[in-house]
Every structure is written in structure tokens, then in C-alpha cells.
Amino acid sequence: METISENRSFGGVQGVYRHASNTCGCDMTFAVYMPPQAEDGPVPVLWYLSGLTCTHENAMAKAGMQEHAAEHGIALVFPDTSPRGDNVANDEAYDLGQGAGFYVNATRAPWKTHFRMYDYVVNELRDIVVKQFDVQDRHGITGHSMGGHGALTIAMRNPDLFESVSAFAPIANPTQSDWGRKQLSAYLGDDESAWADHDATLLLEDKGWKGDILVDQGQADQFLDLLKPDALAEMMARRRQPGTFRMQKGYDHSYFFVNSFAGDHVAWHAERLQ
């Protein structure tokens, strides 16, 4: 693992690292924030999965989570959103290929060689974080947009690995959205039964979640028709899933929205992780 940079932040250290990924077959970059409490012993971990077009850097620089993580003594992990490199398949569209991994394991060419972001987050990067950083093996997960989709689906499929889950404006019902049908068919094929494991609304109906869920959605989000928050909110009510779904008046899809409620989410995870 190569250290790209480390900077002091709110008494802790914000680092950026690179490693050769066996899962994705290319070099992968990720960021980790270690709070000051880590100097006295292992701390729990909150994963943040980013959205379309993002890298590890977007949330690291814009979400404003480090101050809250330092207050509560939680490490933050910011993975990239896809494999990258000259030999990695790509597409001219912003919502497919590099920057748009959708947190699935692709099974179709040309994507299947490198696009294995589900296994990368759940297995490879998790092992690296636990072994290389002074953290407890207690994890929460959150994310924004495509990353909110990833956080919800990964948590519901792995309740033994995550203690808490939340999301900011997640792609909530991708099997019924152009932000989902396009990518899932490209990565997984046309058999829609294979898509269900990557749809938070369908997973909630099938599996539920062992604890409560926190979701924040901007009421003025310009992508509401693609995100389909109503489907997830209705399924939470129908399944009587413990949780809180907040429609935030006037907020859009930007990092100003994420930054505004980042403190709530970090505190919420801290209560469940500690």
C-alpha cells in the first residue's frame, strides 16, 4: 500500500492511499480519515460510498465529515466508485464505465474483467482497512446517490458485516429507473432476476434490515424521478421497517445537501457503533 498524502485534520489524519487490487485488476485509490481518538486505541469505521462521476476525493473534500468523525471518534473510509486505468473498459456516457461502477460484480464483457466493486468494498478493501489501520471490526456504511444505493444494498446483503446503514438521496429503486436499468443490463445482462440483489427497495421487501435505517432526501432534488425515493419510503412503511425517512425542504442533489446533514449521519452511526 502506497501513501499518496497525509494531512492533519481536526486533530486526526486524513490520508489518501493506493494499492494494486487483485479484485479489480488495477491500481485502486482510497482515502481514510483517522480521528484523534485512534491514538489511544482502535475506533469503529464508517464507510462512505460516493455517486456517479465521483472519486474518493469528492466526499473527502466536500462532505465535511471529518469534524464530526473527530467529535465522535470514528474512522471514515472513502473508496473510489470504479476501477480506473487505460486498460479498464469505459464508455463515453458519464453514467456507465469508469466513475459508475454501481457497486456490483459485472458478469458481462467488457466490464467483467475489472468492474467488481461489490467484492472490492465488501471483501478486499475491508480487509486492508482492518489490517492496516487501527480500527475495530465494527462498521457502518452510508453513501450518496449511486453510493446510497450501494450502502443500502451492501448492508442488507451483509448484516453480519455492518452494524448500521444510512443514505443520502439514494438511487432507491434502480430496476425501475434509467439510473439502474441501463447500468444493470450492461454489467449483469438482460435477465432482470439478477438485478434484484442490487435494488434497495426489492431487498428491503425480501430481507429487511436488522436495525433501523436513516435516509435523507432533498425535496428540491433535480433527479427525483430517477432516484425514486417514494418506492423506498413506501416499502419501509409496508414492511414496517424501523427507520427514519426525511424529506428535506428546499435541498437539491449537491454536496451542499450532503454537508448539511453529514453531522446527523455521523452521530447516528456513532450511537449504533459505540
Domain ranges of the chain: 2-273
Task: At 156, list the grid cell.
Answer: 442488507
User: SS3 letters for the chain?
Assistant: CEEEEEEEECCEEEEEEEEEECCCCEEEEEEEEECHHHHHCCEEEEEEECCCCCCHHHHHHHCCCHHHHHHHCCEEEECCCCCCCCCCCCCCCCCCECCECCCCECCCCCCCCCCEHHHHHHHHHHHHHHHHCCEEEEEEEEEECHHHHHHHHHHHHCCCCCCEEEEECCCCCHHHCHHHHHHHHHHHCCCHHHHHHHCHHHHHHHCCCCCCEEEEEECCCCCHHHHCHHHHHHHHHHHCCCEEEEEECCCCCCHHHHHHHHHHHHHHHHHHHC
- The yes-or-no answer on residue 253 being catalytic is yes
9, 21, 50, 145: the catalytic one is 145
Other C-beta atoms closer than 10 Å to the C-beta of 189 total 13
**d(Cα 74, Cα 44) in Å, to the nearest integer?**
5
Task: Print pLDDT tens along the chain (274 aa).
Answer: 999 999 999 999 999 999 999 999 999 999 999 999 999 999 999 999 999 999 999 999 999 999 999 999 999 999 999 999 999 999 999 999 999 999 999 999 999 999 999 999 999 999 999 999 999 999 999 999 999 999 999 999 999 999 999 999 999 999 999 999 999 999 999 999 999 999 999 999 999 999 999 999 999 999 999 999 999 999 999 999 999 999 999 999 999 999 999 999 999 999 999 8
Q: According to the model, what pLDDT value does residue 251 have?
A: 98
Q: According to the model, what pLDDT value does residue 274 have?
A: 86
Q: According to the model, what pLDDT value does residue 261 have?
A: 98
Q: According to the model, what pLDDT value does residue 179 have?
A: 95
Query: Which CATH code of 3.40.50.1220, 2.170.120.12, 3.30.590.10, 3.40.50.1820 fits the domain covering 2-273?
Result: 3.40.50.1820
CB 153 within 8 A of CB 199: yes
- The yes-or-no answer on residue 221 being catalytic is yes
Q: What is the pTM of this model?
A: 0.97
166, 216, 221, 269: the catalytic one is 221
149, 253, 265, 269: the catalytic one is 253
**d(Cα 168, Cα 147) in Å, to the nearest integer?**
8
CB 95 within 8 A of CB 52: yes
